[in-house]
Amino acid sequence: MHLRRPEREGLREYESNLEFDERHQAAPGLVHGGLVAAALDEACGLLATWFRFPTVTGRLFVHFRRPVPINTELLIRSQVEDERGRRIHIAGELVDGDDILAHARGAFVHVPFEHFLSTPEGRAAGERWRRRLTTGDDAAE
């Protein structure tokens, strides 16, 4: 799953197109619910990170309203609802036309960058991530 990066820091809203395929299928023709939750976490988390870098998911509640079809272009969006101290409250939804297929609400917590650097692998990945986020160079991965 790859969602486009937000265009600039400090945004309060985000949206991206998303399409699941056969690799994401659970029941015939339908996306696995865990992947729907992961997509909503990613859309909310991308916004949280670009709103206040860096953040981690503190909690995420997902409401599945309708089955999510594979091979269908969908829209995923998120918006900042509130911020209190280190916490950013964000809502997200996955839609197909006018139909809301799933929606989520979460709290994302601002953490120091060092939070990710406790292992050698984490330090190397963190440095690549920092370069990608600061330069916009996806090849830095």
**Residue pLDDT, tens place only, 50-87:** 777 788 999 999 999 999 999 999 999 999 999 999 99
pTM of the model: 0.82
Domain that holds residue 140: 113-141
In a shared domain, residues 125 and 101 = no
Q: What does the alpha-carbon distance between residue 50 and residue 78 come to, in Å, rounded to a whole number?
A: 12
Residue 38 inside a domain? The answer is yes
Top pLDDT among 4 and 22 is at 22
What does the pLDDT average to over 15-31?
95
Q: What does the alpha-carbon distance between residue 116 and residue 17 come to, in Å, rounded to a whole number?
A: 29
What pLDDT, on the 0 to 100 scale, is given for residue 54?
83
Between 13-27, 58-72, 93-107, 118-132, the lowest mean confidence (pLDDT) is in 118-132
Q: Output the domain CATH number for residue 31.
A: 3.10.129.10
In a shared domain, residues 106 and 118 = no
Q: Mean pLDDT in the chain?
A: 89
Is the backbone of residue 2 left (phi > 0), alpha (psi -120 to 50) or beta? beta
pLDDT reading at 140 higher than 60: no
In a shared domain, residues 59 and 99 = yes
In a shared domain, residues 29 and 83 = yes
In a shared domain, residues 84 and 28 = yes
In a shared domain, residues 85 and 118 = no
